[in-house]
Amino acid sequence: MSDEDADHVSIITIERHILDEQRIHPEATGVLTNLLYDIALAGKVIASKTTRAGLAEILGRTGAVNVQGEVVQKLDRLADLTIYRLNDHTGRVAVLASEEHPDILPIPDQYPTGKYVLLYDPLDGSSNIDFNIPIGTIFAIYQRLSPETERGTLEDCLQPGKNMVAAGYILYGSSTMLVYSTGMGVHGFTLDPSVGEFLRSHPNITIPQKPVYFSANHGYNMYWSRGVQEYTRYLQGKYGGPADLSLRYVGSLVADFHRNLLSGGVFYYPADNRDPQKPHGKLRLVYEAAPLAFLAEQAGGYASNGLCNILDIQPTALHERTPLFIGSRDLVEKAEEYIRRYDS
């Protein structure tokens, strides 16, 4: 077989890809590699449940309300537990924090702690579960700040996104995909259910130069600031804006982000004045905005809160919310321009 043929038929599993990345760093100990495997395994377990959601009693609500005041779906709880249990005993993680819990999730006393911090949104977009619309898991990995001899702390979890070591998401859609970056580009893997393995399907993802989509919940237009309303008109082709953008909004952040990552475009969930309790919009800085901002930058894009880079923001609380503009760099910078001009 010629080299060219061999290249053409080569199947790259996620294990092989992560190991190849590790080899580029001779100083790497393999701990991050194994942590990423653990997350991939969690993704497979969660995918096996989400694909059966309409069949099993899994579908439906638990009746509980989470810390965000939202109804907790059974699948949320299952995804949350899966990720925690696959990572609480490995000695790779110092502390975890999940969007489903008000406080940090310590490693149980009987297990050792490790050098990484794992933050995750176990099942984002879960209000879409009943409608068979894609949902996703989002994760961010940091190095701990606290001494290795101690238990992980809240401070370990409240780091600005620019400290991130790795981030990614698992999208449970018409197929299951894992997309991640360790700061060496963004790579996508599709789960082959027949062999139970993530295979590399989207190497080196970069956001295309020419944007195709814009995505926001226009039902809230009247609650947006003047700057965001004018920006929206720009995206619709006014004021010299692009005249050919198509509007797509799923209402599942991972799905909306994934589409715009592959096609080019901008997703925004701005601040609005619907609810005085939530003046900064709906999305969470550490669980949603920061990890996706890391991926956007690695793919040549950008994410902002309308005023500054999401990755520069120092979180002050685990469940802090932030406005988010994310995707093609030019379009996100344009949002900042409109917000500066009309809202400050």
User: Is 274 a residue that touches ligand AFP (CB under 6 A)?
Assistant: no
Q: Report in angstroms how near the CB of residue 256 gets to ligand AFP at its nearest.
A: 6
Q: Contact region for ligand AFP (CB under 6 A) — 55-63, 235-243, 247-255, 295-303?
A: 247-255
Single-letter residue type at 58: I
Main-chain dihedrals φ then ψ at residue 210, nearest 5 degrees: -95, 115
Distance CA 252, CA 234 (A): 24
User: Is 232 a residue that touches ligand AFP (CB under 6 A)?
Assistant: no
Are the CB atoms for 178 and 138 separated by under 8 Å?
no
Are the CB atoms for 120 and 141 separated by under 8 Å?
no
Residues contacting 37, CB < 8 A, separation 6+: 14, 15, 18
User: Is 320 a residue that touches ligand AFP (CB under 6 A)?
Assistant: no
User: Is 253 a residue that touches ligand AFP (CB under 6 A)?
Assistant: yes
Q: Contact region for ligand AFP (CB under 6 A) — 44-52, 173-181, 245-253, 307-315?
A: 245-253
User: Is 82 a residue that touches ligand AFP (CB under 6 A)?
Assistant: no
Q: Report in angstroms how near the CB of residue 184 gets to ligand AFP at its nearest.
A: 27
Report how many residues bind ligand AFP under the rule CB under 6 A. 14
Are the CB atoms for 298 and 181 separated by under 8 Å?
yes
Q: Contact region for ligand AFP (CB under 6 A) — 77-85, 110-118, 122-130, 297-305?
A: 122-130
Identify which of residues 17 and 258 has a Cβ nearer to ligand AFP in the complex: 258
User: Is 251 a residue that touches ligand AFP (CB under 6 A)?
Assistant: yes
Main-chain dihedrals φ then ψ at residue 217, nearest 5 degrees: -85, 95
User: Is 88 a residue that touches ligand AFP (CB under 6 A)?
Assistant: no
Helix spans in the chain (H)? 3-9, 14-24, 31-50, 74-87, 154-157, 226-235, 253-263, 290-298, 329-343
Q: Report in angstroms how near the CB of residue 49 gets to ligand AFP at its nearest.
A: 16
87 forms beta bridges with: none
Q: Report in angstroms how near the CB of residue 70 gets to ligand AFP at its nearest.
A: 5
Identify which of residues 116 and 172 has a Cβ nearer to ligand AFP in the complex: 172
Work out the angle between the directed axes of helices 226-235 and 329-343 (0-180°, nearest 10): 140
3-state class of 124 per DSSP?
A: strand
* Selected binder of ligand AFP within 43, 114, 122, 125 (CB under 6 A): 125
Site for ligand AFP, rule CB under 6 A: 70, 124-128, 217, 251-253, 256, 269, 282-283
